[in-house]
Amino acid sequence: MNRWRSLTGRMAATLVAITAGSLVLTAPATAAPIPDTAPSVVGGTRAAQGEFPFMVRLSMGCGGALYSPRLVLTAAHCVNRTGTNTSITATLGAVDLQASSRIQVKSNYVYRAPGYNGSGKDWALIRLATPVTSQATLPIATSTTYDSGTFNIAGWGAAREGGAQQRYLLKATVPFVTDASCSASYPGDLVAAEEICAGYASGGTDTCQGDSGGPMFRRDASNAWIQVGIVSWGDGCARPNAPGVYTQVSTFASSIASAAASLGG
């Protein structure tokens, strides 16, 4: 199984223009050893400039969302450990990663979920050296209220399984998949209390390599965006009966908030 959907350690892939009608998101990489990488957004379309201002591209080949002006929420498998880290570059504010208007900020610290061992607990926070106040942040779900229905996914990952990373941000929508149905697809692998699944039984639309750590989100009761998942893993990209698996943000909302407070964000 091509479990993770990140490209940590696989940055040789070149950025290419998005294939029309294709959007793929990728899965995360573990600390050590680094796992095979997986998806971007498959079966998607190009996002408009400013449509998802909270989206972040991370230089190790993962995605993320702006949790606060100084913090990016991403996947644990995208980072190695908790501690000082000045090697990550976050790109924000542009759907085109080569746009002159893009914002680029270095990291200064990483917090990886305590107890992360490659199964569940797949979340992390990256603190930026300087705050980004010009872009909207993405609130996270604090209950399971929004953990069903239709979700949005977006990322710069591959637009097909095994494909190259994208220059332009792609977007798509995917429906909720029950724990029972998802467990049937991944017997013994799904951590139902910590993960949430989404995708079509027929396949065709999914996250893929290079999209690990990016958000899965939807509208809340006030019609504002709210994050319900973090791109984590899956069997390939957009395969039939192989939904994308995401960290269930509501499960870890209090832990994420506590970690954010400890980081000054």
Q: Cβ contacts of residue 201 below 8 Å, gap of 6+? A: 240, 241
State phi, psi for 94 to the nearest 5 degrees.
-155, 135
Strand blocks (E) in the chain: 24-25, 40-41, 45-46, 55-58, 62-68, 71-74, 83-84, 89-92, 103-112, 124-128, 150-155, 170-177, 195-198, 215-219, 225-233, 244-248
State yes or no: is 77 an active-site residue: yes
**Catalytic residue from among 6, 107, 212, 250:** 212
Whether the Cβ atoms of residue 66 and residue 72 lie closer than 8 Å to each other: yes
State yes or no: is 212 an active-site residue: yes
State yes or no: is 255 an active-site residue: no
**Catalytic residue from among 22, 107, 122, 211:** 122
Nearest-angstrom CA–CA distance, 7 and 15: 13
Whether the Cβ atoms of residue 39 and residue 26 lie closer than 8 Å to each other: yes
**Catalytic residue from among 40, 77, 206, 250:** 77
200 CB burial (10 A radius; 0-12, 13-18, 19+): middle
Instruction: Name the residues annotated as catalytic.
Output: 77, 122, 212
